[in-house]
Chain A
């Protein structure tokens, strides 16, 4: 059974660095065709893709946020981390991590999601 769970601070002050952890089980990030993604959703708003780390360690970022984001993995602990620097109140959102599977046709989709963690940025 595939599970993902996000963890991190519920409250962060403006200009601080936010670090989120996605702890997963039931799959290996070393398996070809698998990646872990971070997505966020401000209250009442749409989903926004943030970053991805692939099975081979290659990283991809939302171009509008890439200067502030770093995604990394901690294989022994089955974790993927996301760091966001210089947070602002507009970064207040529920942050999700999700596993992506690449199908035999070459397209990918997010088949398993964590429940999400709400992060509020406020002084």
Chain B
């Protein structure tokens, strides 16, 4: 099974900061990597698919990059509504999808 490892597990930042979250796959997954944002009590919301494609309606301060085994989610100039938990997900292995363990982004 493909394991997805996110770092850091938690992150403290302030409004206006730029932050980067890393997701590493245990084997190459091409660009089959998605990012989701989840707020307490809510379902995850998709942000980015195929490593770097921003979904419609997602603010341009969100960006994704990487391919193969190493991926990043960058949020430039944090807004108050960005404090949440972020998950990466691989859909390369069509028989077994996996999520990262999550990165909790909190207010410093």
CB atoms of B49 and A46 under 8 A apart: no
The number of residues on chain A lying at the interface, defined by a beta carbon within 8 Å of a beta carbon of chain B, is 24
- Please report the C-alpha to C-alpha distance between residue A37 and residue B99 in the assembled complex, in whole angstroms: 13
- Please report the C-alpha to C-alpha distance between residue A98 and residue B46 in the assembled complex, in whole angstroms: 11
In the complex, number of A-B residue pairs with CB atoms less than 8 Å apart: 66
If the complex has contacts A60-B95, A107-B49, A109-B49, are A46 and B34 also in contact, measured as CB distance less than 8 A? no
- Please report the C-alpha to C-alpha distance between residue A108 and residue B50 in the assembled complex, in whole angstroms: 8
Query: Interface digits, A86-123 against B, CB 8 Å rule (1 contact, 0 not)?
Result: 00000000001010100101011111011110000000
If the complex has contacts A108-B91, A109-B49, are A116 and B32 also in contact, measured as CB distance less than 8 A? no
A31 interfacial by beta-carbon distance below 8 Å: no
For A39, the chain B residues whose CB sits under 8 A away are 99
For A52, the chain B residues whose CB sits under 8 A away are 97
A47 interfacial by beta-carbon distance below 8 Å: yes
B96 interfacial by beta-carbon distance below 8 Å: yes
For A107, the chain B residues whose CB sits under 8 A away are 30-32, 34, 49-50, 91-92
For A63, the chain B residues whose CB sits under 8 A away are 1, 96
CB atoms of A46 and B50 under 8 A apart: no
- Please report the C-alpha to C-alpha distance between residue A80 and residue B96 in the assembled complex, in whole angstroms: 18
A62 interfacial by beta-carbon distance below 8 Å: yes
For B38, the chain A residues whose CB sits under 8 A away are 47
A48 interfacial by beta-carbon distance below 8 Å: yes
CB atoms of A109 and B96 under 8 A apart: no
CB atoms of A47 and B49 under 8 A apart: no
CB atoms of A103 and B49 under 8 A apart: yes
A55 interfacial by beta-carbon distance below 8 Å: no
Q: List 18 A-B contacts (CB under 8 A).
A: A46-B99, A47-B44, A47-B99, A48-B99, A60-B96, A96-B44, A103-B53, A105-B31, A107-B30, A107-B34, A109-B46, A109-B91, A110-B34, A110-B89, A111-B46, A113-B43, A113-B45, A115-B42
